[in-house]
Amino acid sequence: RALLPLADGLGGVTSAARAVPDFLICGAQRSGTTSLFKALSQHPGATGPVLRKGVHYFDTGHHHGPDWYRSHFPLRASLRPRWGRPRVRVFESSPYYLFHPLSAERIAKELPEARIVVILRDPVERAYSAHAHETARGFETEPFARALELEEKRLAGTEERLVEDPAHHSHAHQHHGYVARGRYADQLERMEAAVGHERMHVVDYADLFDGGPRALGGILDFLGLPPGRDISLGRHNARKRAVMPETLRAELTSRFADSDARLATWWGRTPSWCA
């Protein structure tokens, strides 16, 4: 963290000579995006932003402009093919990109060839994990059940305001969307409308973390990266939390039923949490 200001200053001076991402990990929040970022960062053919996981340009930082965005990535010269190594691909991971209403359109316009990777997790578990995460970071003060009760009121009008005023930032939309962020079908359809289905790769959290190396291999293949022999997919940013009451779990499962059905149709498969 102490080196970030120095790296940002140097990046700003040399932004014209820097790369932009070839692919993005766009979410979902609390679905293993950090773990995937760290795994892909071990691949000799891929590299992330300087000293960061994500830049948050296409959601909360878009007002800074494209030169600011470029300033966070490596110099193009350092990525060129050399000594038998193919060109290194550049990427970042910002989970809010999937949920922010303007991100997909911005990505399509400014990164017209970038590929999009999305990890989907059981939305009930994702919501509970997100609450623990936001509480630990100081962005949530209410217990989980109460936060669910408040969500509709907290998020009322926030998406419309973000669309009407591109410079607007909503704390509630970014940090309190426990149920809304788990309605994946809406977000995937929006991304597909902007970038096209062929540029998206959606992977099931259970397949990625509990199903062996096949899911990670599928991601590498989609990105045009050769198999990585020494890549290990760990679990990062996990937080301890109490067991969710079964009555609350059942209520949330019911609330996601319609969205999960739409997701299965869009995806062409049954999500692991519905099987």
Residue 269 has pLDDT above 60, yes or no: yes
Q: What pLDDT score was predicted for residue 2? A: 56
Q: What pLDDT score was predicted for residue 256? A: 98
Q: What would the pLDDT profile of 58-99 be if each residue is shown by its tens digit?
A: 999 999 999 999 999 999 999 999 887 889 999 999 999 999
Q: What pLDDT score was predicted for residue 232? A: 80
Mean pLDDT within 207-229 = 91
pTM: 0.93
Residue 128 has pLDDT above 90, yes or no: yes
Residue 9 has pLDDT above 70, yes or no: no
Q: Among 23-37, 97-111, 151-165, 225-239, where is mean pLDDT lowest?
A: 225-239
Q: What pLDDT score was predicted for residue 231? A: 86
Between helices 246-255 and 144-155, what is the axis angle to 10°? Answer: 30
DSSP assignment string, 46-86: EE-STT-S---TTTTSGGG-HHHHHTTS-BGGGGS-BTTBP
Nearest to 117 by CA among 189, 213, 199: 199
Q: What would the pLDDT profile of 235-247 be if each residue is shown by its tens digit?
A: 766 777 888 999 9
